[in-house]
Amino acid sequence: MLTDVADLLTVLRHSTVEFCEAIIKWRRSHNKTFEPFLVNGKNYLATLSHSVDFLAKFTLLKRWMKIRLIRNPLVLMNGLDERLEGVRNWENLPPVMVGLKYNEERETHFEELVGERRKRQAEEEEKAAEENEENEGEEKVS
């Protein structure tokens, strides 16, 4: 099973690179000012850094791969943050992420998003129940 996952991650990596290369070709074909490639109304390249953050929720995958999956769109040994620090170190620049400790469970804000969604659903259900009670009360009066 894990080899199947590894194969899928390899396909994901290659597909992501091919898609980015296609965006570059698309941009070069437009001889005008910068135009972002939009997917669902968002600049795809800007959202790419967080595109596979959801994988960090799979504990078995994290243990098996032994890599950080947050901000690691190509699922490589070093994600974007580690690469940034490596370049800064190479250029003798001070590190950006001094003292930051990653809490991968919280980084994707998954729990907050689910909590907000449940709260919204509860509010909608409560509002619908109140409207039903009002409608029933009006029917009894009529």
Tell me the pLDDT tens digit for each residue of 28-63: 887 777 778 888 998 888 888 888 888 888 888 878
Q: Look at residue 46 and give its three-state secondary structure.
A: helix
Predicted structure pTM score: 0.55
Cβ-proximal residues to 82 (8 Å cutoff; 6+ apart), any chain: 68
Longest dimension (CA), the chain: 81
Tokens 């390249």: give the residue. Answer: 45
